Amino acid sequence: MRTHPNYGPSRFGYYAHRMGAWIQARHYRDIYPDAQDCITPFMWGFTVFDGDRPFDDEILGLIEMERAIGDVPDWAIDIALQIDALPHCGQVNFPEPLYAVFRGIGREEPDPGYTFCFEASSATKDAVEQRLLALDRWLDGATVQDWRRRFPDVSAFVEHAYSALGASTDLKRVAVERMAWHLRFLNASFTTNDGGLLSIDMNAPRPWTPGRPETGEREEIERRLREAAEDTAFDVDRFISEFDHPWLCHQRLFDQINATLARIGREESAYDWDEAVEAAKPTAEEMCRVYDVSMAGITAWAEGDEPDGGLRDAPEADAILSETCDRLGPPTDVKLWLALALRKKIERFRIQEPVGALAV
């Protein structure tokens, strides 16, 4: 097994370190000491297992499949890391990261369409920055007509923000400033990754870590926010606590921005959880549909069959199959190991029910 920093367990160890999930990975290795030389035990980030022996026969079988392969190719190790890093929230441009894994397996080369947690593509950062520039114009007192002219690429956001925020008040203005500060902080601190491979930098900032360094600018914004909220029901501490979440890589990033602006417009300090869950259900249902069709496609591909249940006859399902199992190409031992591990990872996500992770 390789020990070079770019490959093998050390690379998985770096990702686990960055995610704060090393305890989980070490726990699995301690339970299955005979598999410490394998990659398979490291491929279950963001999943939940029960019991003292969490790996079922299927995962134990994947370990044996990996052993039978022998020297796992470099490209397969990189894709195994992508499978491990698939998050239960789906990532900001879901299902693209999932589809990228399928494409990578089929081409035997990591696909650049994949994005890791706590990293962001340049396209995502640009889309966020466009929204922030538009909010700067609102803070400057620009009219909606001026917004439309200056920001045609985010016209739907402009219309929503102007309508949601309504008439300017001191409280709304400072709350928008605080949200914008948070997003600019994330845009600056998240690694920009357009290549699909994990960028290894042990000194990279960890913007999701509680107690991250304060800045004078942030402290000044929050001081003014407390002044503006004085003698109101607006709970400043509860409002700013929402920004502990690293929005920039969440599947519903832009929904979260829109929802926060709507609350600011109503001068509400916190969202209603039940309402947030209801709003997330359509996204969760779509996500589960992608998962279900993907699992059926992998199973059929591994067995050399067509997916059951007339999936090809349903345009929506056929479109998913065209981006998943149809991308895998002729099976090989390495492809089978990766694809079946991916199917198992998706199955674990499906059991967890994603709606809670999507509620913002």
Asked, for residue 151, whether it belongs to a domain, the answer is yes
Cβ-contact 295, 343 below 8 angstroms: yes
In this predicted structure, what is the pLDDT of residue 265?
A: 96
In this predicted structure, what is the pLDDT of residue 29?
A: 62
Cβ-contact 110, 196 below 8 angstroms: yes
The alpha carbon dihedral of 58, 49, 208, 18 has a sign of negative
Asked, for residue 239, whether it belongs to a domain, the answer is yes
CA–CA dist 123, 45 (Å, integer): 25
User: 47: how many CB neighbours lie within 10 A of its CB?
Assistant: 19
In this predicted structure, what is the pLDDT of residue 359?
A: 80
Asked, for residue 156, whether it belongs to a domain, the answer is yes
Asked, for residue 352, whether it belongs to a domain, the answer is no
CA–CA dist 298, 337 (Å, integer): 11
CA–CA dist 102, 328 (Å, integer): 6
In this predicted structure, what is the pLDDT of residue 1?
A: 34
- Label residues 289-304 b or e (16+ Cβ within 10 Å = b): ebbbbbbbbbbbbbee
The alpha carbon dihedral of 356, 245, 132, 86 has a sign of negative
Q: What is the mean pLDDT of each successive set of 10 residues along the chain, which is 360 residues long?
A: 37 47 54 77 78 81 94 90 85 90 96 84 94 94 85 89 94 96 88 77 54 73 95 91 76 90 91 83 92 95 85 87 95 98 93 81
Global pTM value = 0.84
Cβ-contact 207, 120 below 8 angstroms: no
CA–CA dist 179, 182 (Å, integer): 5
In this predicted structure, what is the pLDDT of residue 250?
A: 85
Asked, for residue 182, whether it belongs to a domain, the answer is yes
Asked, for residue 139, whether it belongs to a domain, the answer is yes
Contacts of 349 (CB under 8 A, 6+ apart): 46, 47, 86, 88, 291
In this predicted structure, what is the pLDDT of residue 205?
A: 57
The alpha carbon torsion through 221, 222, 225, 227 (nearest 10 deg) reads -110
The gap from C-alpha 111 to its chain's centroid, in whole angstroms, comes to 16
In this predicted structure, what is the pLDDT of residue 209?
A: 54
> Which residue range is the domain that position 237 belongs to?
120-271
Token code pair at residue 69: 């392969």
Beta bridge partners of 192: 120
Asked, for residue 99, whether it belongs to a domain, the answer is no
In this predicted structure, what is the pLDDT of residue 224?
A: 97
DSSP 21-46: -HHHHHHHHHH-GGGTT-SGGG--TT
In this predicted structure, what is the pLDDT of residue 339?
A: 98
Which uninterrupted H or E stretch holds 77?
helix 74-85
Contacts of 12 (CB under 8 A, 6+ apart): 25, 39, 42, 81, 84
CA–CA dist 262, 270 (Å, integer): 11
Structural domain count of the chain: 1
Q: Which 8-state DSSP code applies to residue 330?
A: S
The alpha carbon dihedral of 219, 221, 227, 231 has a sign of negative
In this predicted structure, what is the pLDDT of residue 206?
A: 57
